[in-house]
Amino acid sequence: MQGEVATDRTVLRIGGADRVKFLHGLVTRDVGAPGDGLRYSALLSPQGKYLADFFLLNRGEDILLDVKTDLAQGLARRLMMYRLRANVAIEECGMSVVRGLGDAPEGGFIDPRDVSLGWRGYGMAGGTPGIDWDALRVAACIPETGIELIPDDSYILECGFDRLSGVDHRKGCYVGQEVTARMKHKTELRKGLVSVAIDGAAPVGTEIMAGDKPVGRLFTQSGGRAIAYLRFDRAEGVMQAGDAKVTWKQS
C-alpha cells in the first residue's frame, strides 16, 4: 500500500557508540531495541515544558529521529549541547518520511500514538499528500507540533502523552522528569487538551469564554469537532470562541 510523503518532516540520524545511553537520559521514552518499532517521545526543558516531540526508530547501527522540520535544527543543536564527551554523532540524513492508512507495508511501522493514524515509513517511495490528517487528529484528540503543542509553554501530561504512549514514568531520569513526575503523582490535572463539539468556526488560538470567564483556547477543528485546551472547573454549558459555540461533555 502506497503512502504519501510528509513534506514537513526531517529525519535526524543519531550514531555513535553512546547513542542509546545518551538519548535514554534525555527524552521521555526509552529508544527500545531493534525490532521494537517506533517510539513516540519528547524532549523537555529542565522546567518540564515541551520543547519538541518526535518518533524514534532504533535500527541497531543507528537511531532515526523523525521530527517536524521547523524544530529539526534547534533540536539538533540542543542535543549536541547535551553531548559533552559522549560518543554521539547527529546529522540530517535526507531520508523521506512516508505515512499512510491501513495495514503497514513491509518496512512500515504502526504509529504508536493511535492506530487511527496508520503507519509511517522511512526512505521509501510515496505519493502526493491527500489524506485529511487534521480530521483524524481531531477525532482521536491528537495534538500537533506547533498548534496544540507549543514549545516552552505546553506540559506533556496536559497534552495527553500518557494516552499517546509518549512518556514512560518508570524509565528513570530524563530532562524535565522531576516536574513531570510531580504532575503525575502529586497533583490532579486541572487543565488539558480535550475533544469538544463546535458549531461554527474560529481561528486557531481563539480564547474560549464561559460567560465572562476565560476557559481556554480553541485549536484544530474538523467536521463539527475540535481540540481545545480547557480549564476543567470552568468548562460548563455552551461556551463561546469568537463566533463559534463550543460544548464539552466530561467523561
Q: Is residue 83 very low, low, confident or very high in pLDDT (cuts 50, 70, 90)?
A: very high
User: What is the arithmetic mean of pLDDT over 177-194?
Assistant: 93
Reported as a single tens digit per residue, the pLDDT across 125-146 is 888 788 999 999 999 999 999 9
CATH of domain 4-140: 3.30.70.1400
**Is 80 exceeded by the pLDDT of residue 76?**
yes
C-alpha cell belonging to residue 69: 522540520
User: What is the arithmetic mean of pLDDT over 23-52?
Assistant: 96
59-73, 81-95, 122-136, 146-160, range with the lowest pLDDT:
122-136
User: What is the arithmetic mean of pLDDT over 163-183?
Assistant: 95
When the pLDDT of each residue in the chain is averaged and rounded to a whole number, the result is: 95
Q: Is residue 119 very low, low, confident or very high in pLDDT (cuts 50, 70, 90)?
A: very high
pLDDT of residue 33: 93
Q: Is residue 251 very low, low, confident or very high in pLDDT (cuts 50, 70, 90)?
A: low
Beta 213-222 vs 225-231: how paired, if at all?
antiparallel
For residue 102, is it left (φ>0), alpha (ψ between -120 and 50) or beta? left
Confidence (pTM): 0.95
Would you kindly state where each structural domain of the chain is located, as residue ranges?
A: 4-140, 190-247
Are the CB atoms for 4 and 97 separated by under 8 Å? no
- Residue 49 CA: distances (Å) to CA of 43, 52, 144, 156, 171: 9, 10, 15, 7, 18
Reading across the β-sheet that carries 108-110, which strands appear in turn?
4-5, 97-100, 119-122, 108-110
Reading across the β-sheet that carries 9-15, which strands appear in turn?
39-44, 50-58, 63-68, 9-15, 89-92
Percentage above 90 pLDDT, the chain: 92
